Each structure stands twice: as structure tokens, then as C-alpha cells.
Amino acid sequence: MSWHQPVVKALKANEVRLVTYIPDNVLTPLIDAVHGDSWFRVICPAREEEAVGIVAGAYMAGLRGITLMQTSGFATLPNVLASLVVPYQLPVLMLISERGTLGDHQLGQAVVARTMRPVLQTLGIEHFAIERNEDVEFVVGSMAKQAYATQSPAAIILSPLLTKK
Amino acid sequence: MNRFDLTKRLVARLKAGEAVIGGIGNTNFDLWAAGQRPENFYMLGSMGLAVPIGLGVALAQPARKVFVLEGDGSLLMQLGSLGTVAAVGPKNLVIIAFDNGMYQITGKQKSLTAGTVDLVATAKGAGLAQSEWATDEAHFERLVDRALGGRGPWFIGAKIDASKPAGVTERDPGLIRRRFMAGILPNS
């Protein structure tokens, strides 16, 4: 079973129906799966900040959502995380495919990837990198549950150990 | 035209629990000063995200009209969001852009709309066919009425003066979110 199937299962189990994303090659199987599944409302905006804003607004109005991106996209988010998501206590779920490590060919990706965990730590955002297929459903489901129970954002990182190995 | 005056005219026409998202700075300060409705959300940061937040609310509650109030400087930061709104096509979303051609709150530096950028033309170019400049206060009210009664998305532009806002929003993000959610979610 590919890693994207347990992600879909965990999202459904937690009533997550909105998916916003900025395209990423590694995320393609998940993006295709949610596009082909009428459970989900799927939106591809122009920028990761927008994707987060849409999920934030939808949550406040009663619709749970997740936003998908790659590491370089996450690097565009510190201001909106620090001035909207964290202070307003919004459980925005982020699923980030990790580039820039374990064999990336782009120096830019490698440099920007090193900013991700320090930013998440500085903002106090719960984050966990999934490395094994058998952990996907548990980690995605548990992080979603905790985010909604504690009114907090969460960053679910997909390690190349999961998506590339 | 004047932002506080137009905001009061808008709020006076909201009779059905319409949600209003006030963009960062003077835009949400005047929304606050126009009366603190429980269906109002005040943005204290995340410049440019009023439209995406409003789109999220509109998607979650298609039966409720959602108004987004945004300034020219903020909208210029997230022009792509106009294309996103056009692509999604929410019938219940109304974007109102208050345009004074300046970053008023930081010292009145000129914005791009003081030069070549026309926000209504930009909205139309992004695919929002129902986009129009309000020519005066009465026309603004007619455009709001049309948006209240018809199928969106709508984009209303209004050229405003450089008056200071009529108040300042209380800066408590947690309280703002809880009040807003209580105002628009029946069981919260």
C-alpha cells in the first residue's frame, strides 16, 4: 500500500474534508487521490499563505482542512503562522513533503530545508516526520486529533525515507 | 469617499448574520468602530490573507454571505487570491477593496494603486466578472444591495480619502476567534 492511502483514511476518520495544496511531485499520488474522491473539497491556490488562510477561515466556520506543500513552500509561511495561526489558536494541519535532504540535487532546496525545523520549534508548532509506511495512519490521525483537541496547528512531515526509499 | 462612512453603510445593510472579515490595519479598525457584531473577524496580522480567510468561511457555510474588507496595500500582497476566488466561484463571497493609494498606517507611502495598478481591472482580469468601482456613496450602497441579493462572487472597489480610522480594535486574537466562532457556528 502506498503512503497516500493511509493519509486519506486518517483524514476521513478525523472529518477533514477540505484540502488546499501547492503542487509537489512527491505529493502527486495524494493530490490525485483527493481530487478523485468526492469526500474532499480540493483547492489549488497560487501561494502557500493563501492555502493556510483558506483552511484557517474554513475551520472557524466549521469545516476541517489540511494544506499540502513542500519544504520550500513552508519557508514562505513564518509570518502568517506567527501572526494568524498561532496567536488565534487555529488547528491548521500542514502536510509537508521534505525536500533538500537525503539525496536532493538542488542546493537551494537543501538550504531552505534546514530552516523548517528551527521555524517550527521557534513558533512552538507540533511537528513529526514520518519515516515508515506502517506509521502513517497512526501519526496523521493522532496529530489531527491532538490539533483539534488542543486548538493548535500541526506539521506532519513526510521524510524521503517514506516517500523515496 | 471615506472608509468609516462606507463601513457603517455596509454594516447597516447586514440583516441576515452575514460574516465580515476585516483586513489588517485601518480596515478592521473601522469595522470594529462601526459596531462589534459577533459575525465580524478582525485580522491583527497576516497581511493579505483577508480574501483567503473569507473564501474559507464562504466554502464552509455556503448559505451565509461573507464580506471581505481589504485595503489596497494588503490586496496587492496577495493578488493571486483573486484568481483563486474566481476559480472556486463562491456565490456567497463579496470582496470590498478600500483604495486610498497609500500605506496609510505606516506613514502614507504611495502604493502601486497610486500609479498604474487598477484593482477592479485586476479583479476582472483574474476572472471576477462582477467587479465594479463604486462612484459615490449611493452607488456603493446599490452595489452592496446587488451583492446581498445576487449570486457572487462580487468585487467592489471604492476610492477613499486618507482619514484616520474611527477606532482601534481590541488586540486579543483568542477572544476575536472565539467570539467570531460563537457568532457563526450555531453549536460552539
Using one digit for the tens of pLDDT, what is the confidence trace for A145-161? 999 999 999 999 999 99
pLDDT at residue number B109: 97
Chain B residue with the nearest C-alpha to that of A90:
B177
Please report the pLDDT score of residue B186 as a whole number. Answer: 80
* Closest chain B residue by Cα to residue A76: B46
Reference A140, options A94, A75, A101, A97; nearest CA is: A94
Cα Rg, chain B, nearest whole Å: 15
A83: closest chain B residue by CA: B45
B147 touches chain A (CB under 8 A): no
- pLDDT on residue A92: 98
The pTM for the full model equals 0.98
- The rounded distance, in Å, linking the Cα atoms of B9 and A113 is 48
Under a CB-based contact definition with an 8 Å cutoff, are residues A95 and A158 in contact?
Answer: yes
How many interface pairs between A and B have CB atoms less than 8 angstroms apart? Answer: 123
pLDDT of residue B188: 63
Q: Is A57 in Cβ contact with B184 (below 8 Å)?
A: no
Q: What percent of chain A has pLDDT over 90?
A: 99
- pLDDT tens digits along A39-71: 999 999 999 999 999 999 999 999 999 999 999
Intervals of chain B under pLDDT 50: none
Mutate which: A15, A84, A150, vs B, most B CBs within 10 A: A84
